[in-house]
Chain A
Amino acid sequence: MSAAADAGIVVVGASLAGLRGAEALRRNGYAGRLTLIGNEPYRPYDRPPLSKHVLSGELAPDASELPQLVALDADWRLGHAAVGLDRVARTIRLADGAVLAYDRLLIATGAQARHWPAASGGALANIFTLRGRDDAARLRAALAQGPRRVLIVGAGLIGCEAASCCRDLGLPVTLLDPNPTPLARSLGTWIGGVIAECLKDSGVAFHPGARVLRFEGDASGRVVRADLADGRTIEADLVIVALGATRATDWLRDAGLMADAGGVTCDGACRVLAADGTTCPDIYAAGDVARWPNSLYGGRLVSVEHWGNAVAQGAHAARNMLAPAEDQHRYDHLPAFWSSQFGINIKAVGLSEGADSVAIVQGSRASRRFLAVYGRAGRSIAAVSFDQARWLPAYAEAIMAGSHHPPIRDASDQGRFATMEPGFPPPRAASHADEARHV
Chain B
Amino acid sequence: MSEDTLFSEVLDRANRADPYPIYARLRENPVSPQRDGSVVVSTHAAIRSLIFDPRLSSEDLPPSHRPPTGNPLKDWLLNPIKDRIATAHRPLIFRDPPDHDTLRSVVMREFTVARVLALKQRVVRDVDALIDACRGRDEVCLVEDLFYPLPVAVICDMLGVPEVDEPQFQRWATQLATALEPDARHDEASRHKTVAAFDAISGYMRALIREKRRRPGPDMLSALANPITTKPGPGGKAAMGDFDLISTAILLLVAGHETTVNLITNGMLTLLRHPHELDRLRADPERAPRVIEELLRYEPPVHFRTRKALGTIEIAGHTIRKGAPVILLFAAANRDPARFADPDRFDPDREDVQHFGFGGGLHYCMGAPLARIEAEIALVALSRRLIAPRLLADPPPYRPGASLRGPERLGIGINGIAARST
Contact = CB atoms under 8 A, between A and B. Distances in A.
Answer whether A and B are interacting partners.
yes
How would you classify the secondary structure of chain A's contact residues: helix, strand, loop or mixed? loop
Interface stretch (B53-61, B205-213, B334-342, B400-408): B53-61
A393 B48 CA distance: 9
Contacts of B98: 363, 367, 369, 413
Contacts of A387: 101, 235-236
Contacts of A397: 49
Nearest to B49: A397
B126 to A, nearest CB: 34
Contacts of B234: 366-368
B322 interface: yes
Contacts of A388: 97, 101
Interface string A350-387: 00000000000011001111000000000000000001
B53 A394 contact: yes
Chain B binding surface, main DSSP class: loop
Given A362-B54, A363-B98, A390-B52, A369 B310 contact: no
B54 A411 contact: yes
A59 B26 CA distance: 49
Contacts of B233: 201, 368
A230 interface: no
A411 B52 contact: no
A343 B236 CA distance: 12
A390 B236 CA distance: 17
Contact of B97 (A393, A394, A409, A413): A413
Interface in B295-322: 310-312, 322
A344 B231 CA distance: 11
A412 B96 CA distance: 6
B315 to A, nearest CB: 10
A414 interface: yes
Contacts of A344: 235
A412 B57 contact: yes
A390 B55 contact: no
Given A368-B234, A368-B235, A408 B55 contact: yes
A363 to B, nearest CB: 6
A102 to B, nearest CB: 31
A391 interface: yes
A363 B235 CA distance: 11
26 contacts: A201-B233, A343-B231, A343-B235, A362-B54, A363-B98, A367-B236, A368-B233, A369-B98, A369-B235, A369-B236, A387-B101, A390-B52, A390-B361, A391-B52, A391-B362, A392-B52, A409-B311, A410-B311, A410-B312, A411-B310, A411-B311, A412-B96, A412-B310, A413-B54, A413-B97, A413-B98
Interface of B: 49, 52-55, 57, 59, 96-98, 101, 231, 233-236, 310-312, 322, 361-362
Interface of A: 201, 343-344, 362-363, 366-369, 387-388, 390-394, 397, 408-414
